[in-house]
Amino acid sequence: MSRLWLVRHGPTHAKSFVGWTDLPADLSDTAAIARLDKALPEVPVVSSTLDRAVKTADAIQGNRPRLAHDPRLRETHFGDWENLSWIQIQSLDAPLARRVFEAPGHHAPPGGESWNDFYNRVHAGIDALSGDAIVVAHMGVILAVVQRALGCTAYEAFGHKIDNFSVTAISRDTPENPKWDAHFINQVM
């Protein structure tokens, strides 16, 4: 069995849908970072390739080994909806917006990726990790892993709040016995 500690990157303060846009994280809350660092085990750290995740991983790495940044752990690609507010997205195509978020699966924003494609990409990256690891990533990535661990629908996974600097702990058995379990979700240290 191995464990994953999924950490959401520091806040960007964006009030829009930010997927692949490479916004920096606000890492000025050094007390929160110190609490997070202290609460995490001494296991390898991996992050997505986006700056907000990379810099958050840098901030908590300490003496932990660092794995190569993994593009499969990037946030979902919102395509033409990148950096738009919910109101703006609804004004472009309200029926599609509802399908994408209320019936996640094969529906995708224009030029973006569907939940199913995103889920498969994320789990290709997660499944490539061997042993215990700290994964510094994004809300969508964490929700995709929560969905798998809980065996729930994407819509049900969307009901979980994932705060910046929070930790979600997941265990997973061997490939021969692929049972996953969520120990806690969205714990803020």
Please give the torsion angle defined by the CA atoms of residues 22, 120, 67 and 1, in that order, rounded to the nearest 10 degrees: 140
For residue 115, give the 3-state DSSP assignment.
helix
CA atoms of 101 and 118, how far apart (whole Å) = 13
CA atoms of 38 and 35, how far apart (whole Å) = 5
Q: Which residue has the tokens 């990157």?
A: 9
Tell me the residue type at 17.
F
- Asked if 102 is an active-site residue, the reply is no
Choosing from 9, 77, 107, 138, which is the catalytic residue? 9
- Asked if 106 is an active-site residue, the reply is no
Choosing from 13, 42, 75, 107, which is the catalytic residue? 75
For residue 109, give the 3-state DSSP assignment.
coil
Alpha helices of 51-152 — where are they, by DSSP H?
51-61, 86-102, 115-127, 139-150
Catalytically active residues are: 9, 75
